[in-house]
Amino acid sequence: MKSRKLVAPSKKTRSSKRTTKVDQRRKAVWVKVLAPLGGFVFLAAVIWGALQLDVLGRTRLGLDKGVIWFGSRLGLCLTKVEIEPMEYTSADEILKASGVYRGQLMLRIDPEDVRLAIEKLPWVWSAIVRRRYPDTLYVRCIERQPIAIWNNGKKMLLVDKVGDVLSDHIPDVFSSLPAIAGEGAPERAPKLFNLLSKFPDIQAQVKAAFLIGKRRWDLLFSHGTKVMLPEEDVEEALQRLSELEDKNLLETYVIKKIDLRFKGKTIFKVAPEATVKLQTRGTTKET
């Protein structure tokens, strides 16, 4: 009977088997790590492809239900719109103007398009629109600031600080704003009121402003005095008027008109009973 010769495995063979097992374990780990990522990439690719191809010929905003479902799984669908509160525009008006809707894919929402749509609302001066992933749209608006009420001969209209006409609906809070009248008055009013803001004591007394011949303004004070401003150097004329205010001349109700159209010269039109009073002050009067 022949004897068998047993040969022990070499160190090289044992080392090779251990290496193979280690490699297999490493491969399994990487598979576990990369598999979910691969799925995510696949889903993202599906959504991107659907966006580019407009699935099943739907409109640009209409997406295949499957894609929307994938998007919702990934947290990419709109579920809420955060709107900073405004005084004269409701959240419903802003939401309607924005054109967005619940369930809309976030990637489909263009903040710039939404901003432009919201800024068409009459009381909105500017808007900020941001996507806040995964599911929120944020909107903040800056409202227009009315400075006067324009009488165009047919109706009363609010005018804002850049000369835009807003609305014929005048909230009570703006009912005491000064009136303006005359062709082209809304466009010219911002410059006038910017100058008046440098003289708050005078501005507080202005009840109305009338644009004369599209060139210059007449002011009507709350106590009835009419002030004729020049076509140019309006600020210098207002400075002269402010000096009269400092002398308390404007507090009297007997001054009918103050003509500031001529540089360096102030002409008064007064009631007869005020003539003596004004002469003692060394001013030029017109009766």
Query: In this structure, what CATH number is given to the domain that contains residue 272?
Result: 3.40.50.11690
Exposure string for 48-86, b = 16+ CB within 10 A, e = fewer = eebbeeebeeeeeeebbeebbebbeeeebbbeebebeeb
Confidence at 206, pLDDT banded by 50, 70, 90? very high
Does the residue 4 lie in any domain?
no
Domain count, the chain: 2
Predicted pLDDT at 49:
52
Q: For 215-260, how does the pLDDT look when each residue is reduced to its tens digit (9 = 90+)?
A: 999 999 998 899 999 999 999 999 999 988 766 666 655 788 999 9
Is position 99 within any domain? yes
Q: Does residue 44 fall inside a structural domain? A: no
Both 96 and 185 in one domain: the answer is no
User: Is the domain of 122 the same as that of 182?
Assistant: no
Tell whether omega for the bond before 178 is within 30 degrees of 0, i.e. cis: no
The reply to whether 248 falls in a domain is yes
Average pLDDT, the chain: 80
Q: Give the CATH number of the domain where residue 103 resides.
A: 3.10.20.310
106: containing domain? 77-143
Supply the DSSP symbol for 280: T
pLDDT for the residue numbered 220: 97
Q: What are the angstrom distances between the C-alpha of 261 and each of 87, 223, 257? A: 41, 21, 12
**pLDDT tens by residue, 85-122:** 999 999 999 999 999 999 999 989 999 999 999 999 99
Residue 30 scores a pLDDT above 50: no
Instruction: Answer yes or no: do 83 and 159 share one domain.
Output: no
Do both 200 and 110 map to the same domain? Answer: no
Query: Are 210 and 218 contacting, i.e. CB atoms less than 8 angstroms apart?
Result: yes
Same domain for 150 and 243, yes or no, is: yes
- My answer on whether 170 and 202 are in the same domain is yes
171 shares its domain with 118: no
Answer yes or no: is 68 within a domain. no
Asked if 166 and 234 sit in the same domain, the reply is yes
Do 220 and 256 reside in the same domain of the chain? yes
> Residue 78: what pLDDT?
94
pLDDT single digits (tens) 126-136: 999 999 999 99
The pTM assigned to this predicted structure is 0.66
Is residue 46 assigned to a domain?
no
Q: Is residue 90 part of a domain?
A: yes
> To the nearest whole percent, how much of the chain has pLDDT over 90?
56
**In this structure, are 197 and 251 located in the same domain?**
yes
pLDDT at 53: 44
Per-residue pLDDT at 283 exceeds 70: no
Q: What angle do CA 161, 167, 168 make, to 5 degrees?
A: 125
Q: Which two tokens stand for residue 172?
A: 């009570």
Confidence at residue 31, expressed as pLDDT on a 0 to 100 scale: 45
Place of tokens 């696949």: 42
Do 135 and 155 reside in the same domain of the chain?
Answer: no
Q: Which of 143, 135, 136 lies closest to 164, judged by CA?
A: 143
